[in-house]
Structure 1
Amino acid sequence: MPAAEPHDLVRTELDRVARRWRDLPVDRALAAAPGLRRLAQELADETAARQGRPVRELPDLGPAVLLDQLLVTCFDATEAGVEQAGLAQRLSTLRSKLTQA
């Protein structure tokens, strides 16, 4: 069986994070929200730096849209050339933290 492509690894980890996030009880999601927000902001910052744009803080729209913000920033980061295997690993780490939340 061939090794998974890096893009496939990111998609797989994003799907896993999304499933885990949606399954969290509200109190645990609220406790885990800062970690999800932190990764989304890091990706937004890295994308801006790669594109020569100023860094801007993501709007705090609450935990209900954090997953959407992460999905968008992951897409933007991959389009900007952020290293895929490293991104997949960061998502895996986030998922592990969600599991512990």
Structure 2
Amino acid sequence: MDDIGTELRRVHRRWRELPEAVAAENASLLRDLAQHLADATRAATGREPLGIPDLGTAALLDQLTVMVYDARRAGLDEQVLPGLTRLRRSLP
């Protein structure tokens, strides 16, 4: 498995370990990275930025996973891995 896949699995595992209240307090960390990747992906493909919808805390991990996939498809691995690593390290 590649480094990005490994780091994404680590984020998934850590996020799922958090109590619901703690996850809610830290939701902005996931949302910010997902939005950053969405913006970078749209810029790389020549499209205007578009905000990701707020679907609540329960959907954030899925939204981040989709944004990681899209960013990788756009060739942005150099932004994805450090972003995931920073995110994981910043989670309580």
Q: TM-score, normalised by structure 2?
A: 0.95
Q: Counterparts of 1:23 and 1:71 in 2: how far apart (Å)?
A: 17
Is 2:43 the partner of 1:55?
Answer: no
Measure, in 2, the Cα distance between the counterparts of 1:73 and 1:43.
6
> How many residue pairs end up in the alignment?
92
Q: State the partner residue of 1:64.
A: 58
Runs of 4+ in 1 over 3 A off after TM superposition: none
* Greater radius of gyration (CA): 1
Contact residue 21 and residue 29 of structure 1 kept, 8 A: yes
CA distance in 2, matches of 1:68, 1:91: 14
Aligned counterparts, 1:77-96, within 5 A:
77-82=71-76, 84-96=77-89
Q: Any gaps of 5 or more consecutive residues in structure 2?
A: none
- Could you tell me which amino acid in structure 2 is paired with residue 30 of structure 1? A
Identity %: 49
Unaligned runs of at least 5 residues, structure 1: 1-6
TM-score of the pair, normalised by structure 1: 0.87
The alignment yields a C-alpha RMSD, in angstroms, of 1.2
Q: Distance in 1 between matches of 2:26 and 2:78?
A: 23
